[in-house]
Amino acid sequence: MNRRREIRMSEAETADFLRAHRKAALATLDRDGFPHIVAMNYVVEDGAVLMTSYAKAQKVVNIRRNPRVGLMVETGEDYSELRGVLIRGHCRIVEGEAAVLAVFAAMRVARGDREGPREAAVAGAGKRVVLKIVPDKVTSWDHRKLAGGY
C-alpha cells in the first residue's frame, strides 16, 4: 500500500489537529525570493487560519508583495510519532482594530481563557492587522498510523 495514503489524516482529523494546537510556522517570501519563516499563534475559523501581526512587520511587508504563504503545524519527537499539517494558501490582510480584537477574542476562546485580553494587546491593536490565510492545498501526516513503523 502507498505509505503516503496510510499516514494522511482525514479532514476531521486535520481539523481536530489544527484546533488542538496554537503555534504554527508561517513562511512568506522576502523581496529576494528567500523564505522568511516565523512562529505565530493562530486560530481556525470557517476553514481559514487567522493570526495577527504588527502592520509594519517583515512578514506583512512580504505578504503585501506576494500573498502566497505556507503554514506548518507539527508535533512529535520520534519519527514514528510525527504528526503535522502543511497549508499552502493565500493570505489576505484585514485592517482595523475591531478585526484584530475579534481575532484576539477568538484565540482566547480557543484556548479556554475566560479572562479578557491583556492590556498591552488592546493598547497595541491599532498597530496590528489580521492575517487571514485561505488554504489552496492541505497536506497532512500522522506517522502513528503506520503498522510496524519504519
For CA atoms 36, 47, 84, 75, give the dihedral sign: positive
Q: Report the DSSP pairing between strands 23-29 and 35-41.
A: antiparallel
Assigned domain for 84 exists: yes
Q: Which residue has the cell 475579534?
A: 102
Query: Can you give the residue range of the structural domain that contains 47?
Result: 3-145
Cell of 116: 479578557
Phi-psi region of 46 (alpha: psi -120 to 50; beta: other; left: phi over 0): left
* 40 in a structural domain: yes
To the nearest 5 percent, what fractions of the chain are helix, strand and coil? 35, 40, 25
User: Considering the domain boundaries, does residue 131 fall inside one?
Assistant: yes
* Structural domain contains residue 51: yes
pLDDT at 112: 82
User: What CATH code is carried by the domain that includes residue 44?
Assistant: 2.30.110.10
Mean pLDDT on 135-141:
97
Give the number of other Cβ atoms within 10 Å of residue 104's Cβ.
21
Does some domain include residue 150? no
Does residue 134 surpass a pLDDT of 70?
yes
Q: Is the dihedral of CA 23, 20, 87, 84 positive or negative?
A: positive
pLDDT digits (tens, 9 = 90+) for 88-132: 999 999 999 999 999 998 998 888 876 666 666 777 899 999 999
On the question of pLDDT at 25 being above 90, the answer is yes
Sequence-separated (6 or more) residues with CB below 8 Å from residue 52: 100, 103, 104, 128, 129, 130, 131
Structurally, the chain folds into a number of domains equal to 1
Give the pLDDT confidence of 43-94 residue by residue, as tens digits: 999 999 999 999 999 999 999 999 999 999 999 999 999 999 999 999 999 9
